[in-house]
Amino acid sequence: MPALGCCVDASVSPPLGNAFSWDSSLPAPELFSSGVPPATNAAAVTAGSHWSTDLSSALYRVDGWGAPYFSVNSSGDISVRPHGTDTLPHQEIDLLKVVKKASDPKNLGGLGLQMPLVVRFPDVLKNRLETLQSAFDMAVNSQGYEAHYQGVYPVKCNQDRFVVEDIVKFGSPYRFGLEAGSKPELLLAMNCLSKGSADALLVCNGFKDTEYISLALVARKLLLNTVIVLEQEEELDLVIDISRKMAVRPVIGLRAKLRTKHSGHFGSTSGEKGKFGLTTTQILRVVKKLDESGMLDCLQLLHFHIGSQIPTTELLADGVGEATQIYSELVRLGAGMKFIDIGGGLGIDYDGSKSSNSDVSVGYGIEEYASAVVQAVLYVCDRKGVKHPVICSESGRAIVSHHSILIFEAVSASTTHISTQPSSGGLQSLVETLNEDACADYRNLSAAAVRGEYDTCLLYSDQLKQRCVEQFKDGSLDIEQLAAVDSICDWVSKAIGVADPVRSYHVNLSVFTSIPDFWGFSQLFPIVPIHRLDEKPTMRGILSDLTCDSDGKVDKFIGGESSLPLHEIGSNAGGDGGRYYLGMFLGGAYEEALGGLHNLFGGPSVVRVLQSDSPHSFAVTRSVPGPSCADVLRAMQFEPELMFETLKHRAEEFLEQGEGEGLAFASLTSSLAQSFHNMPYLVSSSSCCFTAEANANNGGYYYYSEDNAADCATEEDEIWSY
């Protein structure tokens, strides 16, 4: 490679003329003898000849955001520690082995699930819940607090049946309850808590109508520990009226609008102008009305919410202290207060920075959070001479985020291509077609290259390209000539080292469906290759999804990066048959519930994985294929069975029934039927149920293979007749 090809890494760059040889009458750039120089911003990634899993762990900050559940193992794969710090070495789970088990065809011992894939680890969920409970128990015991803590899981974070049922089961010894914000959430909470602790709270938040309040009072009749939290003052009249008609003594809470709030996106729901809650004036009117109705003893809970992702314990203590003052005043006014519900806000460190100045990090751990809450409540209550209340929290994000991992595949990547350098004769012909201004730019470019004036080269290169584009638009330059000019300008950029080194990695995913918070407000999640971490990542890339939308990409990453260090995708790269898997971590809260059907891409396949004593340390206890094309079409009011019949009849009408066409018709209709049953995402050639045979025997149609049908269809699926 000429000297200029190495100038990116050189401490003193040689003059540009060293890499160009110019004909005296026709300047012709000759930039590289072979290859493309490494990009400047990739130098830190590729520096040094040795690479290790420790370097990958540091590069992707795995020990920061992943501890104590995720690490890089000696094989270069992401390892899951299902019991957190209590995980023994033989209990660690290789995530790549889970993915292979899920995605391999059934005839090879796999489950035949299609990507993308959500992997749930109930053991991690259990550990998160126990860690939260343990932190509060420690704070209560160490500070001499005279009541206890019992958590409440807000089901809006992830309403998946098995997630909610797991939380109720794991939390039963700790009186862990559920919070609902809508009528269907209330119904599922009632159902799940029927198998939980009798003392577990069922907190009813959100806007309420007659039906919602009636349903909450039915839950009370069923001996569920139900609390109706007033979000609006008007709801009180409904509660009083309906409870009398149903002869149920309600337990009432109220949500207070605090003055304390934090800035940023996650603090927008708090403060005096927040969407929910009552002002101090409204609180006093509620107390008065309850007193006049002989129901002041029913007011037993104070709820508030500072905002999600509370950045510091100082802000937390300030808000809890303010709320406890309100609680103490309600006690003084005669309310039958028992509970203080501090809402959500326990933050997740998405980028591992432990920073209090970021929406994707927090400057504390769970133990510090619990200690700050207990201390703030204790201090105010002791000063006011008020009995210590039961402390509740609605820490959904902190409980469910870690247990769920989204796995998806990068199927291809854009490549940097250097065209063959035009010959001197070709360049002479090209220059002769340029107008006077473009020709002057070309010659000025050559002169600046000889002098080694980089900035001037770029200036004339840009001017040359723009002038040639204008010539192309007016028809005086053909497409081959325009391509030749583009190549020349690209050579200049690469030689100087300012060409964009970032590739687009095309991933089998919909950002809108699976990472809606990134699209909606640039929420960042750690995204990491789940294997090949014993190899040096030599590329940088952004992730471009399958959707026909320019917003369907991930181009911001933790650590303030606009691209991600990645590996080359090849046919046998990494020893995994060319498959390249990425994982998005800490996305167990909200993403699945918020995902839509943009471009009719449905949700991912799902597996539940428990730690076991099997050879691979895990067992898949449940697997569910993602929604099929028929499923997402039904969601949009189409009828897939009728659609298939329409297409089948059209095939009967327009396919000539000549010799050999009977097989073509059967193949066509079979493939159409199976298309409705497959997921909308891309299928790799190694696992696809269809094979393209573009020859005379089948007319080039895709056909459905009975031999591997089970790999793409569940047992319940019925392949439509043809």
316 burial class (0-12, 13-18, 19+ CB within 10 angstroms)? buried
Among residues 157, 192, 298, 548, which one is catalytic? Answer: 548
704 forms beta bridges with 690
The 10 Å Cβ neighbour count of residue 35 is: 10
| Residue 77 CB contacts under 8 Å (≥ 6 apart), including other chains | 94, 95, 96, 97, 530, 531, 533
683 burial class (0-12, 13-18, 19+ CB within 10 angstroms)? middle
| Residue 433 CB contacts under 8 Å (≥ 6 apart), including other chains | 476, 477, 481
Query: DSSP E strands: which ranges in 2-42?
Result: none
548 is catalytic: yes
The count of residues in the chain is 722
CA 284 to mean position of chain CA atoms: 43
| Residue 127 CB contacts under 8 Å (≥ 6 apart), including other chains | 69, 82, 83, 84, 86
102 SS3 class = helix
Tell me how far CA of residue 209 lies from CA of 132, 239, 304, 340, in angstroms.
Answer: 34, 10, 21, 24
CA distance 253 to 283: 11
- Closest CA relative to residue 59, chosen from 40, 46, 75, 74: 46
CA distance 304 to 318: 13
210-247 burial: b if 16+ Cβ within 10 Å, else e: eebbbbbbebbeeebbbbbbbbebebbebbbebbeeee
504 SS3 class = strand
CA distance 253 to 300: 6
Residue with tokens 């009528």: 183
The distance in angstroms from the start CA to the end CA of the chain is 61
| Residues 258 and 306: beta-carbon distance below 8 Å | yes
Give the ranges where 172-312 is alpha helix by DSSP (H).
183-193, 210-221, 235-245, 280-292
**Torsion sign, CA atoms 643, 648, 654, 660:** positive
CA distance 229 to 466: 64
204 forms beta bridges with 180, 228
Active site residues: 548
